[in-house]
Amino acid sequence: MKKRTIQAKKILKSLINYKTDIDSRFDINKLRENNCLYFQMEDYYGFTKDKRANGELKQKTIEVLLNIFHDWQNNLEGLGFNYYLAIWLYNPRISLSEVVCGINNTIEYYENDVFLQNDKKINFNSLNFGKLDEELKKLTWDLKIDLDNVSDWEVNYPKEQYKNLKEYNVEQRYHKKNIKNAIKTIEEPSGNLYLFPAGDVWVGQFKSKK
């Protein structure tokens, strides 16, 4: 617990200085070149191994995502072309959360193909986020599935490459459980890729864009 608390404090310190992360800035040249922009929490802030956050850390994470979302929105408004802009808020794996912008051919992909629809009958409850409630209410939130994956090469990784038999057995149980829970299988030349649910993704966009 103490080690986890120290890690959380380090992440909070980084989040306070998020503007030093070049990916947090709206870059029109990069957007035109790649047809997309991403700000990804995990790439920069080194969350705990299970990718979760609670309390002050969770609040600050969402606050940073909102700040970047609004900044990019303000820059996009005067450009005169269609675009996709959204917060992808993962639960419980919050460190995977992103602000995503797309133009041209990426718009349809982000809107229709990147996630599977989640059939859970629940609504986004902004009251869960305290002082951010009013800002979160300005967006519409659509529930998707957070998919993780395991591949055949991971399952077949040589036993002798593990540190010990216990580690091997733990990994095998984990992989077999996820394969059993897979909702989609992708056949690749190197073997199958099994996609399984790891949580939810709330996709937030301005109501005016619906």
pLDDT tens, position by position, 54-84? 677 788 889 999 999 999 999 999 898 999 9
For residues 186-199, give the mean pLDDT.
93
Question: Tokens in use for 174?
Answer: 């984990």
For residues 178-199, give the mean pLDDT.
94
Q: Which of 83, 91, 14, 85 is nearest to 53 (CA)?
A: 91
pTM of the model: 0.85
pLDDT surpassing 80 at residue 13: no
Q: Please indicate whether residue 138 or residue 6 has the higher confidence score (pLDDT).
A: 138
Name the 3-class secondary structure at 189. Answer: coil
Name the 3-class secondary structure at 159. Answer: helix
Q: Please indicate whether residue 11 or residue 175 has the higher confidence score (pLDDT).
A: 175
Our CA dihedral for 116, 117, 118, 121, rounded to 10 degrees, sits at: 180
pLDDT tens, position by position, 139-157? 999 999 999 999 999 999 9
| Residues sharing a CB contact under 8 Å with residue 135, sequence separation 6 or more, in sequence order | 66
Mean confidence (pLDDT) of the chain: 87
Model confidence band, residue 1 (pLDDT cutoffs 50, 70, 90): very low
